Chains A and B, each alone.
Chain A
Amino acid sequence: MEKNEKKEIITVAGTIALIIMLSTSIWILPVIGNLINPNGNFWNQINAPDDHPEYQEVVVPGLSGENVTVLRDRFGVPHIYASDYKDLFFAYGYVQSQDRFFEMTLLKLVGWGRLSEVIGSLGVDIDKYLRTIGLGKSAHELIKVAEENKHIYPRTYKMLQYFTKGINTWLDNNRHNLPIEFNLLDLPVEYWSLNDSAVMANLAGLMLSWTMDDLSMEELRLIMGPYLKENENIYGVNAFDELYPDWDMSYPYEFPILPDSHSIYASSKNNNPYTGIYTSDLLLTIHSLLNINKRFQDFLGMVENDCVGSNNWVIDGTISTTGKPILCGDPHLMYMTPAIWYEAHLVCNITGYDEYSDPKTKESYRFQRKINSYGVSFPGTPTILIGHNEHCAWSETNVGSDSFADFYKETLNADKTQYLFNDKWYDVDVIDSPIKVKLGDFYYYEPFEIHYTRHGPILSNLLGLTEISTTISELGMPSFIPEDITVKYIGNNVNANYNQLVAFDLLNRAQNVTGIKMALDAYPNPPQNFVCADDLGNIGMICAGLYPMRAKNGIYSPEYSGRYIQPGNGTGEEWIGFVPPEHIPHCINPVGQAYLASANQRTIASSIYGYSIGHEWAPGWRGRSINRYLDTTDPSSPFFNKKISFEDMQNIQYSSYDVAAEVYIPEIINTYDGLSNPAKLKKSDEFKQVIEIFREWSNSDTYQYLMHQDLIAPTIFDKWMSLLPGKVWGDEWADAGMSGNYPHAQILQQYITEKPNDNPWFDNIATTSEETKQDIILDTLNDAITVLSQKYGSLIDNSEEWIWGNHHKLATIGIPLIFNILLNREVDTLPIPGSSRCLNNAFGIELEMDLGPLHISMDGLVLGGPSWRQVIDFSQIENSVGIYPGGQRENIASKHYMDQAPLWAAGNYKRMLYYPTAEEFVQGEIESTFILRRS
């Protein structure tokens, strides 16, 4: 062959290779050719306006009523005015998609367990996990139930239908103008379905009510139980029960949410000690499942129960300066951009009422047909979840107890095709759920099956899978055969009468607190403490949700509280139903108290409530903090014998007062002052300085015990608090072979502040000397100083570095943060006050995680907390305020990407504009107008 021809052939081959490489997707990377060429989608989308034009119209031939007007204010919050409720929700779907379609798509894929379609094999583990838990399956069932019940609640079903139509109409009109993330991540472009909204709701429910506490308790019982029994001469006969109070006991210093003092089913003590038959593999199975869960919780951004939670409270007219209730709410969730909440105002001025009657009491309630709701929704769902209408307001905190998921150890036959229940063998249901995984431009299907018994999915099947078992071997555990553990989770329980969508639809149309209570009778999951108030002056707290009731051998008892793993063969505690609506814990207009408040602490004292609804509750720091403010009859309250104003309520929400500091700082100072020779301490100079800092903090008029971003004391105290539990419990735990899951913070407080100096728990059994409480307190402080000095340099020379605000910064999970982490750069964000124990819940995270080839390391970032704050003024509801750490638009280049965040970080709010009609909207407050026209 000629030389030239040879060269040409090689050149052609090279050219073809280059073009293929640039025109196809490699691994999970986007198609490079699409990004680089000037005429490509990418550049066209960049050129598309980032923000809404001043005026815009779209023709929607199918509108039922008159034109729909959407007015966006200067924060991009849409105010939608429609004459028919179907048009209203159609427009809401359209408007949400304009601002958040990428976010909706991504969250939907996560919920369905389809992340592998986007991030390839990196997502297979998490998809298997979520599919096993069953969010998608229960979404299908939820919609089926909604369809079957649509003749009972026709409006609710249509609401969802038209919302979905709105999204799909937007998609049809904007296929060539999708957010650039669709290009970059090669996301599937699909029509939205009713099931997608259901899966979004389920995903939100998972964040809040999913728990593996039963497994932790089982692990504790199997390891610490015998250990404490062996050592009962040291720690006492009832040591385990003292450290882990049962459902019918209370934690020290506890303020249950509900104060009412009428008994519902007085409890009876049943003295059957708890027994079961367990194998050694069970412990390893539990340990592995807990580790897998923790790993996925980190990935999904679901942090420990202590932190995800919320605050809410309301005061009635007798202690407010306005003479009317003032209601506050701030749900605590992960900070993301695009934000987890979408703010909107929905108005539909139609007349008339819908009447529903309570099937048991036959009382009927009227819900207005008119809609005038302002608040926040989860993107992809059509109802206002937290907010207010003209007459009422509401906000939720998570009940979050361990009662919402029970675990069963099943007895399966040799080939795992059948399970034993009440001496009969039943077939294991198998659902085939192959996972579509992206590889360049192609997809392959990874086979996957989910196995079900009557209780639920077999969770421990996950342990047999290759990638996950690698994690287990990384943990250094011996190999074992996993036990078959299933989970029964209320999120998978679909009850014909209970429907989340119906509850929120009615809630938005309630006219008073009684109506809210009735609306919430239909509310299933996740169980939430709804604080509410109305303009007649009523206040209420309704802890709505499905609370499982259990029976053994067919006999019900509150003793059967589902605390531990149950045998799955029918001899254990089985669910027989849920607490009926009339017995759901609730309180309206409490006697002897002018407020109601919740911060994820125990719902109600078991001495006045006979159902067992859980053992694990949030530490009471925030609950105690709120009670301290709102109990104006208490001399220690800053509002003792005073009235509380609207501004006061905002300041309380932003409060970074740490009750734990109030408890422990005097202990620390007194212990130090009690030393005969403090100079003999190791690091005595640093100690002296730290104690001085604490003393100043304790004596300050303006900063006392505030976790303020400009101070040094919070840094040291927070570190001390994080090390204290390990100091007290860690040595015994290590001796027993257990790690983590220490007793409740309130138990620890009781030991530190009330037990004698020489209590055996204070002794470090790893040393020959006998340590006392004094040693614990000072050793912890010594460790805190050591750790902090290693990170920030010496306190004496480098005190600037020790300032709390330098290591306590707001960070939202989104593209900028991910970029900075990948590039290993300092994240430059807003320093904020607070801690996980303050009302201004700001939990800093130290995270080390491996995601495929990437190593992610984060320190000093606050990734979660009040994701929305609202304060509702019933004397003038249009003066109510709200704010969140994000913005309405998901487009990074939009001015509404993060515009509310600086206000939020500084503790400021914006007015929630509440004009009843589009005509009354003040012109100067309108940033853009969008009309949906009939023709």
Chain B
Amino acid sequence: MGENQELKKIKENAETELNGGFYELDFLKSCLITAGIGIVLTLTGVWQLVLIAGFVGGFLPKKLKGGRGFLIGFVGIVIAWMILFGIYAITTDMIDFFQRILVEIIGLPLGVSFFALLGCSIVGGLVGGFGGLNGVFVSRILIKRELLPKR
């Protein structure tokens, strides 16, 4: 009984670790919250702070899987930056700049502006994703320390 019980306890702990997230938000909501924080932090001027937005995103879901955390951070920041680029595109002549240079002078195809902006967002998303990954692992460490009994 001793060994089985130990195994059972380990399994329980592991499950708690993995399913004991501080919050219980689903994927989409997590991404949107990450995006919101990402927008605010980007506007501070220190773009590297989107790492923090991703980090927060890592804490949000109940299921603390590394891959999920990364995705939340990544998608969140991609959304954040695409929104910001979208706002600039509508309120300024930025797209005109692309039109002029990339299309008319250098001669790349028309859709390149969208892909260029998406590409930028993806690079930013990588940083957010790493933030999310960090968030998940730190969350797990904290849960284990706080919620689980000492062995």
B2-10, B19-27, B90-98: which lies at the interface: B90-98
Instruction: Chain B residues near A14: list those with CB within 8 A.
Output: 130
- B141 in contact with A38 (CB, 8 Å): no
A893 within 8 A of B: yes
The residue from A36, A38, A893 contacting B88, defined by CB atoms under 8 A apart:
A38
Tell me if A670 is interfacial: C-beta within 8 Å of chain B: no
For A45, the closest partner residue in chain B by CB is: B97
Per-residue interface assignment for chain B, residues 119 to 144, with 1 indicating a CB less than 8 Å from any chain A CB and 0 otherwise: 11101101100110110011011001
Proximity bits, A1-17, B CB within 8 Å = 1, else 0: 01011011001101100
Nearest Cβ in chain A — how far from B35, in angstroms?
Answer: 13
The CB with the most chain A CB atoms within 10 A, among B43, B51, B130, B138, is that of B130
In the bound complex, how far is the Cα of B124 from the Cα of A22, in angstroms? 10
Q: Out of A15, A35, A46, A820, name the residue touching B120 (CB < 8 Å).
A: A35
For window 70-95 of chain B, which residues contact chain A by CB distance below 8 Å? 81, 84-85, 88, 92-94
Least CB distance from A649 to B in Å reads 34
A825 and B107 form a contact (CB under 8 A): yes
Contacts of B140 in A (CB 8 A): 4
* Whole-angstrom CA separation of A18 from B70 in the bound complex: 14
In the complex, besides A46-B97, A825-B107, 16 extra interface pairs with C-beta distance below 8 angstroms are A5-B141, A12-B134, A14-B130, A22-B48, A36-B47, A36-B119, A36-B120, A36-B123, A36-B124, A39-B47, A43-B88, A47-B92, A49-B93, A50-B97, A50-B100, A893-B96
B16 at the interface (CB under 8 A from A): no
Q: Which residues of A contact B120 (CB under 8 A)?
A: 35-38
- A residues lining the B interface (CB < 8 Å): 2, 4-5, 7-8, 11-12, 14-15, 18-19, 22-23, 32-33, 35-40, 43, 46-47, 49-50, 815-816, 819-820, 825, 828, 892-893
Are the CB atoms of A19 and B51 closer together than 8 Å?
yes
Please give me the 10 A-B residue pairs with the lowest Cβ-Cβ distance, nearest first. Answer: A37-B47, A36-B120, A8-B137, A38-B84, A15-B130, A893-B100, A47-B92, A816-B105, A46-B97, A4-B140
Known A4-B141, A11-B133, A825-B107; contact A19-B127, beta-carbon cutoff 8 A: yes
How many whole Å from B135's CB to the nearest CB in chain A? 10
A33 neighbours in B (Cβ, 8 Å): 47-48
Report A659 CB to chain B, min CB distance, Å: 37
User: 18 A-B Cβ contacts within 8 A?
Assistant: A2-B141, A4-B137, A8-B134, A15-B127, A19-B51, A22-B123, A22-B127, A36-B123, A38-B120, A39-B45, A46-B94, A46-B97, A49-B93, A50-B93, A815-B105, A816-B105, A816-B106, A819-B106
A5 CA to B138 CA, complexed, in Å: 8
Tell yes or no: B101 within 8 A of A by CB.
yes
Chain A residues near B138 (CB-CB < 8 A): 8
> Which residue of A11, A47, A819 is within 8 Å of B94 (Cβ)?
A47
Distance of A137 Cα from B134 Cα, bound (Å): 56
Contacts of A36 in B (CB 8 A): 47, 119-121, 123-124
A4-B141, A7-B137, A38-B42 known; A892-B101 Cβ under 8 A: yes
Candidate in A22, A46, A820 with the most chain B CB atoms within 10 angstroms: A46
CB-based contact B42/A39 at 8 Å? yes
Given contacts A11-B130, A19-B48, A893-B101, contact A38 B107 (CB under 8 A): no
Question: Closest CB-CB distance, A441 to chain B, in whole Å?
Answer: 15
- Does the CB pair B101–A39 fall under 8 Å? no
Assembly CA distance A23 to B127 (angstroms): 11
Residues of A within 8 A of B123 (CB): 22, 32, 36
Q: Is B61 among interface residues, defined by CB-CB distance under 8 A?
A: no
Bound form: Cα–Cα A50–B85 in Å: 19
B57 contacts partner chain A, Cβ-Cβ < 8 Å: no
Complex CA gap A8/B136 in Å reads 9
Contacts of B134 in A (CB 8 A): 8, 11-12, 15
Given contacts A35-B120, A37-B47, A893-B101, contact A47 B93 (CB under 8 A): yes
Contact A39 B43 (CB under 8 A): yes
B31-60 contacts to A, CB under 8 A, are: 42-43, 45, 47-48, 51
Q: From residue B132, how far is it (CB to closest CB) to chain A in Å?
A: 10
A857 to B65, CA, bound (A): 52
In the complex, the chain A residue whose C-beta lies closest to that of B66 is A7
Interfacial residues, chain B to chain A (CB-CB below 8 A): 17, 42-43, 45, 47-48, 51, 66, 81, 84-85, 88, 92-94, 96-97, 100-101, 105-107, 119-121, 123-124, 126-127, 130-131, 133-134, 137-138, 140-141, 144
Chain A residues contacting B43 (CB-CB under 8 Å) are 39
Select one of B42, B92, B137 contacting A37, CB under 8 A. B42
Q: Is B48 a contact of A23 with CB atoms below 8 Å?
A: yes
B105:A892 contact, CB within 8 angstroms = yes
Q: How far is the CB of A823 from chain B (nearest CB, A)?
A: 8
Residues of B contacting A4 in the complex (Cβ-Cβ under 8 angstroms): 17, 137, 140-141, 144
For A11, list chain B residues within 8 Å (CB): 130, 133-134, 137
A32 to B84 Cα, complex, angstroms: 18
Would A8 and B141 be within 8 Å (CB), given that A816-B106, A825-B107 are in contact? yes
Chain B residue numbers with a CB within 8 Å of A893 are: 96-97, 100-101
Which A residues are CB-close (under 8 A) to B96?
893
Nearest CB to that of B131 among chain A residues?
Answer: A15
Nearest to B91 among chain A residues (CB) is A47
Smallest CB–CB gap between A30 and chain B, Å? 13
A residues in contact with B141, CB < 8 Å = 2, 4-5, 8
The smallest beta-carbon distance between B43 and chain A, in angstroms, is 6
Quote the shortest CB–CB distance from A376 to chain B (angstroms). 24
B17 / chain A contacts, CB cutoff of 8 Å: 4
CB neighbours of B106 from chain A (8 A):
815-816, 819-820
Give min CB distance, A924 to chain B, whole Å: 25
Separation in Å of the B86 CB from the closest CB of chain A?
A: 10
Q: Which residues of A contact B92 (CB under 8 A)?
A: 47
Complex formed: what's the CA distance from A47 to B96 in Å? Answer: 9
Measured CB to CB, the nearest residue on chain A to B50 is A37
Say yes or no: A37 contacts B124, CB within 8 Å: yes
Are A18 and B137 in contact, CB atoms less than 8 angstroms apart?
no
**Closest beta carbon of chain B to A32's beta carbon, Å:** 7
Roughly how many angstroms separate A310 CA and B123 CA in the complex, as a whole number? 51
- In the complex, A35→B119 CA distance in Å? 11
Contact of A18 among B85, B119, B126 (CB under 8 A): B126
Q: How far is the CB of A893 from chain B (nearest CB, A)?
A: 4
Q: How far is the CA of A237 from the CA of B41 in the complex (A)?
A: 86
Contact of A40 with B47 at beta-carbon distance under 8 Å, contacts A11-B133, A35-B120 already known: yes
Task: Please tell me if the beta carbons of A820 and B107 are within 8 angstroms of each other in the complex.
Answer: yes
Q: List chain B residues, Cβ under 8 A from A7.
A: 66, 137
Q: How far is the CA of A43 from the CA of B120 in the complex (A)?
A: 12
Complex CA–CA separation, A857 to B60 (angstroms): 55
- Report Cα–Cα, A820/B101, bound state, in Å: 13
Point out the residues of chain B lying under 8 angstroms from A19, CB to CB.
Answer: 48, 51, 127
**Within the assembled complex, what's the spacing in Å between the Cα atoms of A815 and B126?**
30
Could you say which residues of chain B place their CB within 8 Å of the CB of A37? 42, 47, 81, 120, 124
Which residue of chain B has the shortest Cβ distance to A35 in the bound complex? B120
Assembled-state Cα–Cα distance A4/B42 (Å): 29
Chain A nearest CB from B2 CB (Å) reads 23
Q: Write out the residue numbers on chain A whose beta carbons fall within 8 Å of the beta carbon of B119.
A: 36
A35 to B124, CA, bound (A): 11
Chain B residue at minimum C-beta to C-beta distance from A36: B120
Most buried by B among A12, A33, A36, A825: A36
B130: which A residues are within 8 A, CB to CB? 11, 14-15, 18
Considering the complex, give the chain A residue whose CB is closest to the CB of B70: A11
Q: Give the nearest-CB partner of A23 in chain B.
A: B48
Give A33 to B96 CA distance when docked, in angstroms.
22
Which B residue sits closest to A16, measured CB to CB? B130
Contact B97 A18 (CB under 8 A): no
CB distance from A246 to the nearest CB of B (A): 51
Complex-state Cα separation, A461 to B18, whole angstroms:
70
**Cα–Cα, bound, A40→B43 (Å):** 9
- Shortest distance in angstroms between B138's beta carbon and chain A's nearest beta carbon? 6
Give min CB distance, A175 to chain B, whole Å. 16
Report how far A887 CA is from B138 CA in the complex, Å: 57
Minimal beta-carbon separation of A78 from chain B (angstroms): 23
